[in-house]
Chains A and B, each alone.
Chain A
Amino acid sequence: MSEQVLPFYLVCDESYSMDGAPLQAINQELPTIYDEIASNPVVADKARLGIIGFSTGAEILLPLADLNDVQSIPQLSARGMTNYGAAFSLLRDTIEMDIKKLRQAGHSPYRPTVFFLTDGHPTDEWNDDYQRLVDPGFGPHPSILAFGFGEAQASILTQIATFRAFIANGDVSPTQALREFAKQLLNSVVKSAVASSSSPAGEARLVVPEQVTGYTVLPVDLV
């Protein structure tokens, strides 16, 4: 049976600098995000969420899945460097494969949305992998929201985001900043799915916050 699918990906920095409170905060919030999305029927019927972690390399921690089919939520763990290129490369291949699988199953996937979370400087040359991901010739190129805190640089976040970028402004602790990030991820999934559901034209609409507590909004050149 053909279903309309709104794919969301959380791409999360797992480099050593995320060790301790930042990753603990994310790990605490993830089950709540899943529970709340799964319990909202309008959202749960359409939204699917996948998680990719990256450090020196990148891996799929949770494949893109219907939230009611998810049995356990993975835990993020700190290790290695901050290799953005590995994240973008895996994300491009994963999106390509997921969209292909969804279409083969007869579903109608909409443009994916990526929440990219980082706390540091990239330690690699990432631009080629990034360009492969956002290439307009790549049909399902995603809308990217970038969130940075800790050592993250505004100039890099604005290069990565295609939709909106946020940088923690120090008003709140890193733990609070990450909880706020999780809250915004949840809100965006819910509001986007509801907005799309309330559209008789079937239009998928990405609804993202214009302001986030503890973050400064960065200007982004829309792709």
Chain B
Amino acid sequence: MEQLQEGLTAEPELTIPEPLVIGRRPMVRPALTGLPDVDLRRPDSELDGADLPGLAVRAASIRGEAHRHLGLTRQDAMGFWQIDGTRLLACVADGLGSKALSHIGAAEACVSARNNIEDLFAPGTSGIQPEVFFEDIADDLMKCAGSKVNGRPVSPEDLSTTLVVALIDSEKLQATLMRVGDSEAMLLREETWTPCFPKKFEESISSSRTHALPHDTGQVEITVVDLRRGDMLLLCTDGLARPMGSELVSAQLGAWWGRSLVPALPTFLWQVSFRAKSHDDDRTAICVWTV
């Protein structure tokens, strides 16, 4: 009891600091509003993590400041699962903002990736068949649309979402990455970031027309990344990838997460919550360290 009372003493230095502002301070104030008025709304944030043999995982999906300000639901989704003793499946999805129910599509895409993992492996070989796997996920999204949402019919387009999937083998030290759309995967090695997928041609103005499921199953990109102990593989939505285009942000995250510095979960949530003017999208990051 005595200890508890001591603990209750409000020490100013024990206050959790506000998220770090990188660059100019945004005008948007980090405030919550009422609950989003939408079917199957997603929680404001998700935080997850695991320390597995050979791998440490920290994951956060955070509603963007604009969605908070406007009272809209988070449209990003994520999930990770152990396939067996050495392999981890991690997924990050970004529901298209122009589609009212894309948060359902993003969540469904992650769950579907988990449910269809067996189809990723080509029968009788050691190879994989990502096209079949993504077709399965697209089929599940179509079924989800067909099954209606709260009794109302939904078009498959309303569930449109990007999806990036990583299959990480902690024994072989290899990651197989697959995606449809513009969610990203990046390798952090000794505080230096390297994109895993080839960079798109940079046009003079920004645009984010992106491929999305369930329709663009013909647009699956696949890459394999060899890992070293101490590397970190990041899967993220463009709500994080875009501010990381700034050296200030990528250097800060590199300093936090490089050199095998695996943060505690509350620290990780605080780190992903950094603020940067105009970068008010939902933000999702799954970080997997090879330890």
B29 (CB) vs chain A CBs: closest residue: A41
How near does chain B come to A3, taking the closest CB pair, in angstroms?
4
**B: number of interface residues (CB 8 Å):** 49
Interface positions of B from 267 to 291, Cβ below 8 Å from A? 276-282
Interface positions of B from 179 to 236, Cβ below 8 Å from A? 181-182, 203-210
Instruction: Report chain A residues within 8 Å CB of B205.
Output: 99, 109-112, 139-140
How many angstroms between the C-alpha atoms of A89 and B92 in the bound complex? Answer: 45
Q: Are A45 and B26 in contact (CB under 8 A)?
A: yes
How near does chain A come to B266, taking the closest CB pair, in angstroms?
24
How many angstroms between the C-alpha atoms of A125 and B61 in the bound complex? Answer: 55
Q: Are B242 and A44 in contact (CB under 8 A)?
A: no
How many angstroms between the C-alpha atoms of A42 and B206 in the bound complex? Answer: 19
A interface, size bucket: 20 to 34
A92 within 8 A of B: no
B259 within 8 A of A: no
Interface positions of B from 28 to 73, Cβ below 8 Å from A? 28-29, 64, 66-67, 69-70, 72
How near does chain A come to B276, taking the closest CB pair, in angstroms?
6
**Listed stretches B80-88, B95-103, B107-115, B139-147; interface member:** B95-103
B152 within 8 A of A: no
Interface positions of A from 90 to 115, Cβ below 8 Å from B? 99, 103, 106, 108-112
How near does chain B come to A96, taking the closest CB pair, in angstroms?
9
**Cβ 8 A contact of A200, one of B27, B96, B207, B245:** B96
Given A200-B75, A200-B238, CB of A4 within 8 Å of CB of B206: yes
Residue among B67, B207, B208, B276 having the largest count of chain A Cβ atoms under 10 Å = B208
**Cβ 8 A contact of A198, one of B29, B67, B209, B245:** B67
How many angstroms between the C-alpha atoms of A204 and B29 in the bound complex? Answer: 22
Q: Are B70 and A198 in contact (CB under 8 A)?
A: yes
Binding site secondary structure of chain A: loop
Instruction: Report chain A residues within 8 Å CB of B23.
Output: 1-3
Given A194-B66, A199-B97, A201-B96, CB of A140 within 8 Å of CB of B204: yes
**Cβ 8 A contact of B66, one of A109, A111, A197:** A197
A68 within 8 A of B: yes
Instruction: Report chain A residues within 8 Å CB of B170.
Output: none
B243 within 8 A of A: yes
Instruction: Report chain A residues within 8 Å CB of B245.
Output: 2, 106, 108
A142 (CB) vs chain B CBs: closest residue: B205
Instruction: Report chain B residues within 8 Å CB of A132.
Output: none
Interface 1/0s, chain B 9-37, versus A by CB < 8 A?
00000000000001110111100000000
Instruction: Report chain A residues within 8 Å CB of B129.
Output: none
Q: Are A201 and B278 in contact (CB under 8 A)?
A: no
B248 within 8 A of A: yes
**Cβ 8 A contact of A45, one of B22, B210, B246, B280:** B280
A23 within 8 A of B: no
How many angstroms between the C-alpha atoms of A208 and B26 in the bound complex? Answer: 25
Instruction: Report chain B residues within 8 Å CB of A44.
Output: 27
**Cβ 8 A contact of B246, one of A41, A106, A111, A140:** A106
Q: Are A41 and B203 in contact (CB under 8 A)?
A: no
B23 (CB) vs chain A CBs: closest residue: A1
How many angstroms between the C-alpha atoms of A204 and B281 in the bound complex? Answer: 12
How many angstroms between the C-alpha atoms of A41 and B181 in the bound complex? Answer: 29
How many angstroms between the C-alpha atoms of A111 and B279 in the bound complex? Answer: 17
A164 within 8 A of B: no
Q: Are B276 and A42 in contact (CB under 8 A)?
A: no
11 contacts between A and B (CB under 8 A): A2-B249, A3-B278, A41-B28, A41-B29, A110-B207, A139-B205, A197-B70, A201-B96, A202-B97, A202-B206, A202-B239
Residues of chain B having any CB pair with chain A under 8 Å: 22-24, 26-29, 64, 66-67, 69-70, 72, 75-76, 94-98, 102, 162, 181-182, 203-210, 237-239, 242-243, 245-249, 276-282
Known: A109-B205, A199-B98, A200-B96. 14 other contacts (CB 8 A): A1-B246, A3-B23, A3-B278, A4-B206, A106-B247, A110-B206, A111-B207, A194-B66, A198-B72, A200-B239, A200-B281, A201-B238, A203-B207, A203-B209
Residues of chain A having any CB pair with chain B under 8 Å: 1-5, 41-42, 44-46, 68, 99, 103, 106, 108-112, 139-140, 194-195, 197-205
